[in-house]
Amino acid sequence: MKKALITGVTGQDGSYLAEFLLEKGYEVHGIIRRSSSYNQERLEDILTEEEASVLVNNKNFHLHYGDVTDALNVTRLIGEIQPDEIYNLAAQSHVRVSFDMPGYTLDVDAKGTLNILEAVRILGLTDKTRVYQASTSELFGKVQEVPQKETTPFYPRSPYGVAKIYGFWITKNYRESYNMFAVNGILFNHESERRGETFVTRKITLAAARIAQGKQKKLLLGNLDSLRDWGYAKDYVECMWLILQHEKPEDFVIATGEMHSVREFADLAFKHVGIEIEWIGHGIEEKGINKATGEIVVEVDPKFFRPAEVEQLLGDPTKARTLLGWNPTRTSFEDLVRIMVAADMMKVGNEDIVKKTFDYVI
């Protein structure tokens, strides 16, 4: 039985990956942070209610307290677990927040990656343990080529992107210096019903559901023109695994090869809850009007703009399709929006409190 260690197991990707690896017959270990509030919700959501006890009691699933910034802790855990595969998904993953917390983002996203690689090296596990690093399309930032592929030069535009560039290169450096199987998945945006609520897609699907059910009046957004290559997280975790099963340690771009604007995403999400939007005005004056009622449901608020923006991201998944046999369009953009809205309509239907505003700071 293979053993996998997942950092960031409580996050969107970590929870799907844990589920995926357990189904593949792995013994799965996950690192969770000590928190004063409950942080294992996504792990409970992994299975349906009747199956939930299977996961909780699953003898193949183990959680350990830890933090990737604590080198002693991760070294001890890796030494005890002796994993065949490590998936380093832990990160301060919010781009806007990284402008407010650049130092912390550096500690987790850059130094945290080094701590894991160095632990594997010090423990003499370089021949045994394969390491996957969660790299990102944010490395391309101010894009130097369209679409972006493995050879496209990087130009990060945020403290997050800059910290992740260290993670990318130190992973490649350990591969080249110590002959380790240490690889980067350069993943473009991937979303799901488990996406954090302050990322734009989830913010939109939750708001659309709440507005449709009379529990929220308006949705405030930043840059509506921003373009992203949005895929489905469940499809993307499979690719993380495929990258580690490949015979050669190589870096891969994972994307759908399709790009849509924030405005398009909002349009479609509102359509799914039965609200047809008409867009009027430009720039910060732009508004989304409910065609049926004339009410303003979307407004632009400059507080959601970023000091430096990544205007567009479009990935070329040819290498992953060809060498890994991965299907980049298993879940279409339309299906992704439909899945997320359906889940949020259910969730909001069960919310008993009526919130006056969901004016997130980020």
Please report, as ranges, the residues that interact with ligand NAP according to CB under 6 A: 7-8, 10-14, 31, 33, 35, 39, 67-69, 89-93, 108, 112, 134, 136, 187, 189-190, 196
State which of residues 99, 155, 169, 199 lies at the interface with ligand G4F (CB under 6 A): 199
Name residue, tokens 């979307």.
Answer: 298
- Work out whether 137 is an interface residue with ligand G4F (CB under 6 A): yes
273 neighbors 264 (Cβ within 8 angstroms): no
Closest residue to ligand NAP in the complex (CB)? 11
Nearer of residues 68 and 211 to ligand NAP, judged by Cβ: 68
Binders of ligand G4F among 224-243, rule CB under 6 A?
226, 228
Residues binding ligand G4F: number (CB under 6 A): 24
Nearer of residues 28 and 31 to ligand NAP, judged by Cβ: 31
Report, as residue numbers or ranges, the catalytic residues: 136, 138, 160
| Cα distances (angstroms) measured from residue 129 to each of 186, 221, 242, 320 | 20, 43, 15, 22
> What is the three-class DSSP state of 263?
helix
State the Cα–Cα distance between residues 82 and 304, nearest whole angstrom.
43
State the Cα–Cα distance between residues 326 and 313, nearest whole angstrom.
20
Q: Given its phi and psi angles, is residue 141 left (phi above 0), alpha (psi -120 to 50 degrees) or beta? A: left
Task: Give the distance, in angstroms, between the CA of residue 106 and the centroid of all CA atoms in the same chain.
Answer: 18
- Work out whether 264 is an interface residue with ligand G4F (CB under 6 A): no
- Work out whether 155 is an interface residue with ligand G4F (CB under 6 A): no
The option from ligand NAP, ligand G4F, none interacting with 90 (CB < 5 to 8 A, set by class) reads: ligand NAP
Binders of ligand G4F among 75-104, rule CB under 6 A?
93, 95-96
* Least distance (Å) between residue 77 CB and ligand G4F: 24
Q: Which two tokens stand for residue 96?
A: 């806007």
Side-by-side strand order, sheet with 277-280? 219-221, 296-300, 287-290, 277-280
Residues 6+ apart with CB under 8 A from 33: 10, 39, 65, 66, 67
- Work out whether 263 is an interface residue with ligand G4F (CB under 6 A): no
CB atoms within 10 A of CB 64: 16
* Least distance (Å) between residue 154 CB and ligand G4F: 13
The option from ligand G4F, ligand NAP, none interacting with 171 (CB < 5 to 8 A, set by class) reads: none
The option from ligand G4F, ligand NAP, none interacting with 257 (CB < 5 to 8 A, set by class) reads: none
The option from ligand NAP, ligand G4F, none interacting with 96 (CB < 5 to 8 A, set by class) reads: ligand G4F
State which of residues 85, 109, 138, 316 lies at the interface with ligand G4F (CB under 6 A): 138
- Work out whether 112 is an interface residue with ligand G4F (CB under 6 A): no
Residue-wise DSSP of 105-151: HHIIIIIHHHHHHHHHHHTT-TTT-EEEEEEEGGGT-S-SSSSB-TT
* Least distance (Å) between residue 294 CB and ligand NAP: 35
State the Cα–Cα distance between residues 152 and 93, nearest whole angstrom.
22
State which of residues 304, 338, 347, 358 lies at the interface with ligand G4F (CB under 6 A): 304
Nearer of residues 7 and 216 to ligand NAP, judged by Cβ: 7
184 neighbors 172 (Cβ within 8 angstroms): yes
> Where on the chain is the footprint of ligand G4F (CB under 6 A)?
93, 95-96, 136-138, 188-189, 198-200, 203, 221-223, 226, 228, 262, 304, 306, 309-310, 313, 362
